[in-house]
Amino acid sequence: MVNVIVDEDLCVGCGVCIDDCPSNVFELINEIAKVVRIDDCTACRLCESECPSEAIVVED
């Protein structure tokens, strides 16, 4: 199973992960990216590679 971790201390709320995720896994809640549909994650790692603040880690 895939696990996606967003470090809330590093997340700047830019929304890049939301825009880039082909599975629509994230939502911006209180200006922080939150994983809301983990079951839809395909572990493509786009969110991890594109996050400018390196706040996302994908574990599979």
CATH number, position 21:
3.30.70.20
Could you list the residue range(s) of the whole structural domain that residue 33 is in? 3-59
Site of tokens 């994650």: 41
The pLDDT score that the predictor gives to residue 37 is 98
With beta carbons less than 8 A apart as the criterion, state whether 53 and 11 touch. Answer: yes
- Global pTM reads 0.94
With beta carbons less than 8 A apart as the criterion, state whether 12 and 52 touch. Answer: yes
Task: Please provide the DSSP assignment of 1-60 as one string.
Answer: --EEEE-TTT-----HHHHH-TT--EEEETTEEEE--GGG-----HHHHH-TT--EEEE-
Over residues 5-53, the pLDDT tens digits come to 999 999 999 999 999 999 999 999 999 999 999 999 999 999 999 999 9
Question: Rounded to whole angstroms, how far apart are CA atoms 60 and 3?
Answer: 6
Counting the structural domains of the chain, the total is 1
